[in-house]
Chains A and B, each alone.
Chain A
């Protein structure tokens, strides 16, 4: 199974994490919310998959393109 990273597109701080380990997510599901430029920007799953790793904590600051979580790809959309 292929592992795919979810990245923060821009620098900011992680305001909320909305998934826990082993959660199944669908394409476009909001995984975390990034606070950047005073806006709550959703970080969404690029593929459907299972969360295998969460690499940031709420309140931690991230730089642009930093990995936030890892997904293990599933064959089809679970939604």
Chain B
């Protein structure tokens, strides 16, 4: 019992740390519709799994003790180790201090043990009071020696935008593989309304500047949106359930309640015979994947492309699918950006990609050109060629132009599977005919009839069965066979993925 007094003192100090910035500040945090950092960590982790590091750090003695404005440590999600940390807004608004800080320690633990990292951001970063304390101005440097950048190459990094997040924490939230923010009660911006007012003379509210409407829907800076903070934590747990511990491991297999040989009857009629009529691509995906469950990544931005994590016979897969309801599935700038990030995410963590193709090509027109759809689209194309995870493409309907080539790779096994509704070509018939046969059409006695005649003549070549005969497509399948076939291919590729684990080298220069 020699050390009992000291141990009791540790307990007293721990208890003071639990009080955060004091009852009044905690109340203010709750009044803003927000949880405290300790409540957030509790809601995220498996019950009782949090092991705090640095709980006794702070300043002031006895009752005047104020804990450091950051809480972090080790935790578990579904029994798997992670590290977690976040600014405590109730202590000086979660602002940063000089010196070795707890947020850096969290990153160092993640880097040392190579475990997933969850950062729950709340606060505005730098505090001008530090300058007064220091007595001089500093050249801006990244305080953690780029640890955040290193982690992006090795372990899954999740960012939560939980409160008003600006400055340093806002930038760190971007250095993540996936991010989420609640619909109300949180904002993200480079700088808040007072700074905006001083800099450009504009009056804006926090929500106008950085609500989920801005950052999830309009800008795409944050991937997903939660109904509230609890929903964000549920989504974080779900996202991590698809992720391996690090790049030296394969994603976890989970036993499905679904049969690998299930043939979904409705797949036979989901694509309308009328070629101009769109359909619900998300339903299509859910009919193929295990138990009809998928976790959509960035659902509100770049919506011409659907990206989702799902499982096929228990194996984690990345699903990409063009959405015929948006742009008719044509790839635009935001969709291309989304494709690049998603493909890199899957490649990094050895998640095979299944791509349901229904893409008429790049989006055309002045809006598309102005937004750089061509360069951004070719960046997606370039990424397709730079990844090494298996990529299985199912041509559901349209597959035209270079916009569609972003779905396949010619340098690897060229295995293309088409549904009978599949149609493809370098140039679409409509439009292509106008360009190539302009003179013949114009000089005909009835130009309209002539154009229709030529279109019909070429249209007869559209059948994928003709392409299959010429071995221009490797397989045409009954749509109901999609799930069993894709599972067979995935399971064949499963072992190979284990041969090349580790940090991915970064090839070349993106267009």
User: Does A38 contact B430, Cβ atoms closer than 8 Å?
Assistant: yes
Does B367 make an interface contact (CB < 8 A)?
Answer: yes
User: Does A36 contact B277, Cβ atoms closer than 8 Å?
Assistant: no
Q: How far does the alpha carbon of A40 sit from the alpha carbon of B327 in the complex, in Å?
A: 10
User: Does A39 contact B329, Cβ atoms closer than 8 Å?
Assistant: yes
Interface of chain B: mostly helix, strand, loop or mixed: loop
Residues in A with CB closer than 8 Å to B363 are 10, 37
Residues in B with CB closer than 8 Å to A10 are 326-328, 332, 363, 367
Can you give 12 A-B contacts (C-beta < 8 A)? A9-B326, A10-B327, A10-B367, A11-B366, A11-B367, A11-B368, A37-B328, A38-B275, A38-B276, A39-B278, A39-B360, A41-B278
- From A9, A11, A38, A63, B360 is in contact (CB under 8 Å) with A38
Contact string against A for B residues 416-457, beta-carbon threshold 8 Å, 1 for contact and 0 otherwise:
000000000000101000000000000000000000000000
Contact string against B for A residues 26-66, beta-carbon threshold 8 Å, 1 for contact and 0 otherwise:
00000000011111111000000000000000000001100
Distance from A11 Cβ to chain B, minimum over Cβ atoms (Å): 5
Residues in A with CB closer than 8 Å to B140 are none
Distance from B325 Cβ to chain A, minimum over Cβ atoms (Å): 6
Q: Which positions 346-394 of chain B face chain A at CB distance < 8 Å?
A: 360, 363-368
Q: Which 9 A-B pairs have the closest CB atoms?
A: A37-B328, A39-B328, A64-B367, A37-B330, A10-B327, A11-B365, A37-B360, A40-B276, A11-B367
Does B464 make an interface contact (CB < 8 A)?
Answer: no
Residues in A with CB closer than 8 Å to B303 are 9
Q: How far does the alpha carbon of A6 sit from the alpha carbon of B324 in the complex, in Å?
A: 19
Residues of B within 8 A of A (CB): 275-278, 303, 324-330, 332, 360, 363-368, 428, 430
Distance from A71 Cβ to chain B, minimum over Cβ atoms (Å): 18
Q: How far does the alpha carbon of A39 sit from the alpha carbon of B364 in the complex, in Å?
A: 14
Q: How far does the alpha carbon of A11 sit from the alpha carbon of B277 in the complex, in Å?
A: 17
User: Does A41 contact B325, Cβ atoms closer than 8 Å?
Assistant: yes
Residues in B with CB closer than 8 Å to A38 are 275-276, 328, 360, 428, 430
Q: How far does the alpha carbon of A35 sit from the alpha carbon of B360 in the complex, in Å?
A: 14
- From A35, A37, A42, A63, B327 is in contact (CB under 8 Å) with A37
* B324, B328, B367: residue with the most chain A Cβ atoms closer than 10 Å: B328
Residues in A with CB closer than 8 Å to B368 are 11
Closest residue on chain A to residue B429 by CB atoms: A38
Distance from A13 Cβ to chain B, minimum over Cβ atoms (Å): 11
Q: How far does the alpha carbon of A41 sit from the alpha carbon of B364 in the complex, in Å?
A: 16
Residues in A with CB closer than 8 Å to B428 are 38
Q: How far does the alpha carbon of A10 sit from the alpha carbon of B323 in the complex, in Å?
A: 13
Q: How far does the alpha carbon of A42 sit from the alpha carbon of B330 in the complex, in Å?
A: 16
Q: How far does the alpha carbon of A38 sit from the alpha carbon of B364 in the complex, in Å?
A: 12
User: Does A39 contact B365, Cβ atoms closer than 8 Å?
Assistant: no
Q: How far does the alpha carbon of A69 sit from the alpha carbon of B365 in the complex, in Å?
A: 23
Question: A10-B327, A11-B365, A11-B367 are contacts. A40–B277 as well, Cβ < 8 Å?
Answer: yes
Residues in B with CB closer than 8 Å to A42 are 278, 325
Contact string against B for A residues 6-28, beta-carbon threshold 8 Å, 1 for contact and 0 otherwise:
00011100000000000000000
Q: How far does the alpha carbon of A9 sit from the alpha carbon of B325 in the complex, in Å?
A: 10
User: Does B365 contact A41, Cβ atoms closer than 8 Å?
Assistant: no
Closest residue on chain B to residue A9 by CB atoms: B326
Distance from A9 Cβ to chain B, minimum over Cβ atoms (Å): 6
Residues in A with CB closer than 8 Å to B364 are 37
Q: How far does the alpha carbon of A47 sit from the alpha carbon of B368 in the complex, in Å?
A: 28
Q: How far does the alpha carbon of A73 sit from the alpha carbon of B360 in the complex, in Å?
A: 36
User: Does A39 contact B367, Cβ atoms closer than 8 Å?
Assistant: no
Identify 19 new A-B residue pairs, CB closer than 8 A, beyond the known A10-B326, A37-B364, A39-B276.
A9-B303, A10-B332, A11-B365, A11-B366, A11-B367, A36-B327, A36-B328, A37-B360, A38-B276, A38-B328, A38-B430, A39-B277, A39-B360, A40-B277, A41-B278, A41-B326, A41-B328, A63-B366, A64-B367
Distance from B112 Cβ to chain A, minimum over Cβ atoms (Å): 47
* B327, B332, B364, B428: residue with the most chain A Cβ atoms closer than 10 Å: B327
Q: How far does the alpha carbon of A64 sit from the alpha carbon of B326 in the complex, in Å?
A: 11
Residues in B with CB closer than 8 Å to A11 are 365-368
Q: How far does the alpha carbon of A50 sit from the alpha carbon of B328 in the complex, in Å?
A: 28
Distance from A3 Cβ to chain B, minimum over Cβ atoms (Å): 18
Q: How far does the alpha carbon of A64 sit from the alpha carbon of B364 in the complex, in Å?
A: 11
Residues in B with CB closer than 8 Å to A39 are 276-278, 324, 328-329, 360
Residues in B with CB closer than 8 Å to A9 are 303, 326-327
Distance from A69 Cβ to chain B, minimum over Cβ atoms (Å): 19
